[in-house]
Structure 1
Amino acid sequence: MARRRTQKGADAGRQGTPRTAAAGGAVAVTGTGRHFRAHRRATLWMKITALAVAVVMVGVVSVAGILVMRLQNNVQVAELNLGPGAGTAAAADNNKDDLQILILGTDTRDGANGGYGTSADATGYGHSDVMMLMNISKGNREVSVVSFPRDLMVPIPACKDPKTGEQYPAQELGQLNSALSQGGPGCTVAAINQLTGLNIDHFMLADFTAVKDLSNVIGGVEVCVDHSVNDVNGSGLVLPAGKSLVQGEQALAFLRTRHSFGDASDIARIQAQQYFLGSMIRKIKSDGTLSDLPKVYNIADAITKNLTIDSGLANIPSMVAIANRLKNIDLTKVAFVTAPWVPFPADENRNILSQPAASDLFTALRKGTDLTGGSSPSTSAPPAQPTTAPATAAAPVPAYDKTIQPVTVVNASGAADRNTELLAALTAAGYTDLGQSTAATAAATTISYGNGFQDVATDVAALFRIPASALVASPGVSGVRLNAGSDFASGTAYGQSALPPDIVASTADQSGKCLSVNPDMYPRE
């Protein structure tokens, strides 16, 4: 190598490169040799830099992999739906489809929750302290959050506990929050699917510790009360009048308190929970949290440690997909709603759905209606076109005597005295051989008919503008049976419903409101 460098130096010298004579006639190379040594150093540094970058990249990928595994190992997984028809619906695309996510809070005192009571209060799955059904619309135009009262009396389907194999029989009427104890969150999902006619895609079940950890990791949630409150002997909530930043135990106490707000009812408690969630959404949006990956990870790590979810949600891509959909939602389009209710006649401490308002709400949710006003063009179904002549059109003379055709009306709508209106319409149309009965609430209306009665069934469908797809041949039926489901809980024209004007309790952008404190919770001197 030395000889080659000297030769190049001599050739360069003949072209005028500076040289210095040395003893023995040897030529000492000055500039050119330095150039070649510098090139070798540059190559070496490039290799070192490339190696360092590779090491860093491997490290980042490794750390990311560890974090992903940690999050996925945090969560517990349970079956999505324990009811009839489970697993028959196609899985929704978490990135773009209309999504129904049931958010549940359990009051179990097992494990880390033992400090909030004893096993006499609740063990195992516990009962649902919070039941919120969140719908993210296709196109991410709006979000609705529908709260269900914990004391709501509804039909509970038969459920089998996947852990123990214990079978729980169906109940004609049971308290909705008790469904969780009958096999886990999948039983609550089944009950609400049956009640609403919706198909819930995912659930999240959180306990007391999850609420505390989440409120801590986001730095607290701002709340406002119109008077100082002292529930030290109940939930432990103690707040001054005005605005406060609550987190940890105080955040949990705010959500758990049963008597601190309004009229101390379960409905007032729901309003406080919706208020807290709205404030938390504003906090996360204003901080840009959902666009900050380290923050998203910290939140995910905090809540997944105490979270049970369905298998379709138990992976990082699904969680990230939902976070990405929520981060740009307009706060004025995040609507909080409480399922319409009235006192249960048999027990004033319980509730039942108020009809037809509840059925109208569920119909709007199934159609993708924007609850804050207007209809979402990407989700709203086009108006149903009657497949037979409308009720007002002149109908041809039937090839049978209407007065002797047996027609039975079954009230499966959940609305009290629903049959009266439908029977009156049939009588006015000339049908006089009529019967009636009541059945457990069904989501969809059907018309079943026995042998030789298809033409009568078709005319009954035309009378009420029920689509032909609802007709079902049933050889065991004598005549025609109109089974009016919760999607036909009012009126005599199927598919026509209107939301109550005050159905939306609040939207997530409303920050100036202070909750009204129950006077019984004022501090005593």
Structure 2
Amino acid sequence: MFRWIAITLSLLILGTATAGYLYYQHLNSNIRSSGRSGGESGVKKAAPNAAGETPINILLLGSDSRNTAENVKLGGSRDSIGDKPRADVQMLLHISADRKSSSLVSIPRDTIVEIPECKDSETGQTYAATDDKPINESLQRGGPGCTLTTWEKLTGVYINHWVMIDFSGVVAMADVIGGVDVCVKTGVWDRSTPMVRGGSGLKLHQGTNTVMGEDALKWLRTRHAFGNDQNRAKAQHMYMNSMLRTLKKQNAWSDAGRLTDLAETATKALQVSDEIGTVKKLYDLAMQLKNVPINRITTTTIPTAEWSQDKNRLVLVEKSADQMWQMLREDVAFDKNGKAKAKASPSATPAGPPAAAPKTLAVSVANGTGVGQAAKDGRATEVAQILNGKGFDLAEAARTGEPAKTTVVQYPQEDGDQGKSDAQSVAKALGLPTTAVKADAEAGGLTLVVGADWRDGTVYKAPKTAEAGDLPAGADDLNAADEGKCMDVYSVYRWDGDKS
């Protein structure tokens, strides 16, 4: 299981606990890393805002690995010893471009998604794409990089890094932190029953309890007593938020010995993507995260429904999921505690040089409508013909196209302001917003990618603009500053406490 807050705060520690070069090298040797991505998602990095800033997205993974003595001791079936681990906890952490808010989304482990073709960066083995497996199995099909690629395909959000921790790492982090307060509305005992075998063993009295070590792990693993995987994610979010508040109150950063213990434990507990595989890089990343106010941190779970082919599996509620993915892509805060952004004044004439004459612009039109469903046949040709009718005589359909959530007009970054003006003229002709125009360092020319948001029609109709805090029902959103949250306990697992 995984606690993103333990990791995030540990990153802050790494920069201050490295006084000596030898100790710095020692911490570096603790860190394990491997490739960022396991395959091709077609998702590009977000364009910078007016201040040149971009969001940071980090995939946080909790592995169920039982391939060490420590992990076997901490629970689960011994039959799975030696098996490839699964990512039973998966959360996407989004840090806004202005570093003033943070949003986190969990997906329940048994949710059926499309897992793309992936290649394991360590073994070189390639795994074929599949659309009937739960998302937690993506880790077995190419490692953390495959899980990252799966999320990119699902959300259309570019993910900068991944971080992973296993059972023993969670226990070690909980111990060194000194315990975290959690709350239940009644006493709880998550145990085997005549109807349902298994259980985490969590046993707590009604009200607030401080959990450490194995008890912390039991809280994070509890599913039956909390009702289902969605409520387990909610309990995990409560734990994360409580840990953040705890460390903030403790002011742990002023205790040099404590910092050293935290840095030592964190670097041993984590596995990360290669580009953040040193103490210095983790510290630099932490500096981007540290200033987010606690009341601007929101945790959520993506709404799901029972899969028609198997009641023990889940599928995303598409409309709700699309709404949340759009907010992440457009860097819209999940909370309403920030200042409202001033709306840009419309401009009749875009800044920059005038666009070239439409008849001189070669526009390659790619069919990217195949997101979550089959691509619409012939859509690139349809839109190329629309452009032809508007004077873009050289517009033609591309032979291939990567799936895209939204429609964009890409121009080569090296073309600068002229390329931008040309792309804006294409966007204007089709009714696309100016935000659809993107510079791309890898673009070979002016390219229109027709996304899943425009499968039909001759004029683009913009989807509803996402607004801060506009989350769908069922997202189970929690604000990190809220201390008054307690978990409901399913009646079978309620406990009155020892009678002795």
Instruction: Establish whether TM, by shorter chain, passes 0.5.
Output: yes
Residues 369 and 404 of structure 2 are in contact (CA less than 8 Å); yes or no, is this contact kept in structure 1? no
Residues 466 and 494 of structure 1 are in contact (CA less than 8 Å); yes or no, is this contact kept in structure 2? no
Residues 295 and 337 of structure 2 are in contact (CA less than 8 Å); yes or no, is this contact kept in structure 1? no
1:133 is matched with which residue? Answer: 92
More contact order relative to length (CA 8 Å, sep ≥ 6): 2
2:27 is matched with which residue? Answer: 71
Residues 43 and 158 of structure 2 are in contact (CA less than 8 Å); yes or no, is this contact kept in structure 1? no
Instruction: Determine the C-alpha separation between the residues in 2 that align with 1:409 and 1:85.
Output: 15
Q: Does structure 1 residue 240 correspond to structure 2 residue 240?
A: no
Query: Of 98, 110, 114, which residue of structure 2 is paired with 1:155?
Result: 114
2:430 is matched with which residue? Answer: 462
Q: Residues 118 and 265 of structure 1: is their aligned pair in 2 closer, same or farther, counting only changes over 3 Å?
A: closer
Instruction: Determine the C-alpha separation between the residues in 1 that align with 2:256 and 2:349.
Output: 52
TM-superposed CA distance for 1:340, in Å, is 2.8
TM-superposed CA distance for 1:143, in Å, is 1.1
- How far does the alpha carbon of each residue in 1:408-439 deviate from its partner, in whole angstroms, 9 at most, with x for none? 998634389999xxxxxxxxxxxxxxxxxxx9
Residues 172 and 440 of structure 1 are in contact (CA less than 8 Å); yes or no, is this contact kept in structure 2? no
- SS of residue matched to 2:318: coil
- SS of residue matched to 1:181: helix
Instruction: Determine the C-alpha separation between the residues in 2 that align with 1:190 and 1:516.
Output: 35
Residues 231 and 521 of structure 1 are in contact (CA less than 8 Å); yes or no, is this contact kept in structure 2? yes
TM-superposed CA distance for 1:441, in Å, is 6.4
Q: Residues 369 and 305 of structure 1: is their aligned pair in 2 closer, same or farther, counting only changes over 3 Å?
A: same
Query: Of 291, 300, 322, which residue of structure 2 is paired with 1:337?
Result: 300
Give the alignment of 1:262-281 within 5 angstroms. 264-281=227-244
TM-superposed CA distance for 1:248, in Å, is 0.5
Q: Residues 468 and 97 of structure 1: is their aligned pair in 2 closer, same or farther, counting only changes over 3 Å?
A: closer
What letter matches 2:452 in structure 1? Answer: G
Q: Residues 333 and 225 of structure 1: is their aligned pair in 2 closer, same or farther, counting only changes over 3 Å?
A: same
- How far does the alpha carbon of each residue in 1:65-92 deviate from its partner, in whole angstroms, 9 at most, with x for none? 2321222111211111011169986999
2:286 is matched with which residue? Answer: 323
TM-superposed CA distance for 1:350, in Å, is 1.8
TM-superposed CA distance for 1:460, in Å, is 12
Return the TM-score normalized by structure 1.
0.67
Give the alignment of 1:361-440 within 5 angstroms. 361-373=324-336, 412-414=370-372
TM-superposed CA distance for 1:495, in Å, is 4.6
Query: Of 271, 280, 284, which residue of structure 2 is paired with 1:308?
Result: 271
- SS of residue matched to 1:209: helix
Q: Does structure 1 residue 511 correspond to structure 2 residue 483?
A: yes
Q: Does structure 1 residue 213 correspond to structure 2 residue 172?
A: yes
Instruction: Determine the C-alpha separation between the residues in 2 that align with 1:96 and 1:319.
Output: 19
Residues 211 and 303 of structure 1 are in contact (CA less than 8 Å); yes or no, is this contact kept in structure 2? no
TM-superposed CA distance for 1:465, in Å, is 6.2
Instruction: Determine the C-alpha separation between the residues in 2 that align with 1:461 and 1:362.
Output: 27
Instruction: Determine the C-alpha separation between the residues in 2 that align with 1:372 and 1:126.
Output: 34
- SS of residue matched to 2:38: coil
What letter matches 2:94 in structure 1? Answer: N
Q: Residues 230 and 153 of structure 1: is their aligned pair in 2 closer, same or farther, counting only changes over 3 Å?
A: same
Instruction: Determine the C-alpha separation between the residues in 2 that align with 1:62 and 1:459.
Output: 51
What letter matches 1:485 in structure 2? Answer: A
TM-superposed CA distance for 1:330, in Å, is 1.5
Instruction: Determine the C-alpha separation between the residues in 2 that align with 1:482 and 1:96.
Output: 24
Structure 1 residues not aligned, in runs of 5+: 1-59, 389-407, 420-438, 448-457, 471-480
Query: Of 169, 176, 187, which residue of structure 1 is paired with 2:135?
Result: 176
What letter matches 1:217 in structure 2? Answer: V
- SS of residue matched to 2:145: helix
Return the TM-score normalized by structure 2.
0.70
Instruction: Determine the C-alpha separation between the residues in 2 that align with 1:353 and 1:386.
Output: 41
Give the alignment of 1:86-165 within 5 angstroms. 97-111=54-68, 112-115=70-73, 116-118=75-77, 120-121=79-80, 123-165=82-124
Instruction: Determine the C-alpha separation between the residues in 1 that align with 2:216 and 2:347.
Output: 50
TM-superposed CA distance for 1:173, in Å, is 3.9
- How far does the alpha carbon of each residue in 1:369-395 deviate from its partner, in whole angstroms, 9 at most, with x for none? 1110277889x997999999xxxxxxx
- SS of residue matched to 2:62: strand
Q: Does structure 1 residue 500 correspond to structure 2 residue 471?
A: yes
- How far does the alpha carbon of each residue in 1:30-73 deviate from its partner, in whole angstroms, 9 at most, with x for none? xxxxxxxxxxxxxxxxxxxxxxxxxxxxxx99962232122211
Instruction: Determine the C-alpha separation between the residues in 2 that align with 1:367 and 1:194.
Output: 16
Residues 427 and 434 of structure 2 are in contact (CA less than 8 Å); yes or no, is this contact kept in structure 1? no
What letter matches 1:301 in structure 2? Answer: E
Instruction: Determine the C-alpha separation between the residues in 2 that align with 1:459 and 1:248.
Output: 55
1:55 is matched with which residue? Answer: none
Q: Residues 85 and 230 of structure 1: is their aligned pair in 2 closer, same or farther, counting only changes over 3 Å?
A: closer
Q: Does structure 1 residue 260 correspond to structure 2 residue 225?
A: yes
Residues 100 and 200 of structure 1 are in contact (CA less than 8 Å); yes or no, is this contact kept in structure 2? yes
Q: Does structure 1 residue 251 correspond to structure 2 residue 216?
A: yes
Q: Residues 91 and 166 of structure 1: is their aligned pair in 2 closer, same or farther, counting only changes over 3 Å?
A: farther
RMSD (Å) for aligned C-alpha atoms? 4.5
Residues 386 and 465 of structure 1 are in contact (CA less than 8 Å); yes or no, is this contact kept in structure 2? no
TM-superposed CA distance for 1:216, in Å, is 0.7
TM-superposed CA distance for 1:252, in Å, is 0.4
Instruction: Determine the C-alpha separation between the residues in 2 that align with 1:170 and 1:293.
Output: 48
Query: Of 20, 36, 40, which residue of structure 2 is paired with 1:84?
Result: 40
- How far does the alpha carbon of each residue in 1:4-31 deviate from its partner, in whole angstroms, 9 at most, with x for none? xxxxxxxxxxxxxxxxxxxxxxxxxxxx
Query: Of 148, 170, 185, which residue of structure 2 is paired with 1:226?
Result: 185
Q: Does structure 1 residue 299 correspond to structure 2 residue 262?
A: yes
